């Protein structure tokens, strides 16, 4: 986990050095009005996405709590397994669509 964090931060630091270093004269010229033109729709989409992820996590927690109250342990574990499997497929398919779009 520490190495993953270090590699992520090293990329962020390298990008800031590249952008603000001045070695590439066409990299960044500063903020303009065009940079903030579509800021409101992006913020609204971010808020809706955050609410959606929050509701999905609450849904998973409720399913885990409900599976805990089931009498049959095999059914409870199967229910939890199906829920986690579907959740994992969501996180696998989404980056696949993003990489296909590139």
How far is C-alpha 9 from the chain's CA centre?
A: 17
Contact partners, residue 66, CB within 8 Å, separation at least 6:
79
- Together in a domain, 46 and 75: yes
- Together in a domain, 26 and 71: no
Mean pLDDT by groups of 10 residues along the chain of 102 residues: 85 85 73 82 90 82 72 74 79 75 66
Report the pLDDT value the prediction gives residue 1, as an integer from 0 to 100: 78
Name the phi and psi angles at 26, rounded to 5: -100, 10
- Structural domains of the chain, count: 2
Report the pLDDT value the prediction gives residue 13, as an integer from 0 to 100: 92
- Together in a domain, 25 and 43: no
- Together in a domain, 47 and 78: yes
Report the pLDDT value the prediction gives residue 102, as an integer from 0 to 100: 64
Output the pTM of the full model.
0.43
In this structure, the dihedral spanned by the alpha carbons of residues 28, 30, 36 and 39, taken in order and rounded to 10 degrees, is 50
How far is C-alpha 14 from the chain's CA centre?
A: 22
- Together in a domain, 49 and 71: yes
Range of the domain at 45: 37-101
């Amino acid at each position: 986990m520490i190495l993953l964090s270090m590699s992520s931060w090293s990329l962020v630091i390298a990008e800031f050095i590249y952008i603000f270093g001045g070695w590439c004269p066409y990299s960044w010229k500063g903020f303009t009005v065009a940079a903030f033109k579509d800021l409101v729709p992006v913020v609204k989409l971010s808020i809706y996405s955050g609410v959606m992820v929050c509701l999905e996590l609450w849904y998973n927690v409720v399913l885990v709590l409900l599976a805990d109250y089931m009498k049959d342990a095999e059914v409870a574990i199967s229910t939890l397994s199906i829920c986690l499997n579907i959740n994992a497929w969501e996180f696998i398919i989404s980056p696949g669509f993003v990489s296909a779009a590139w």
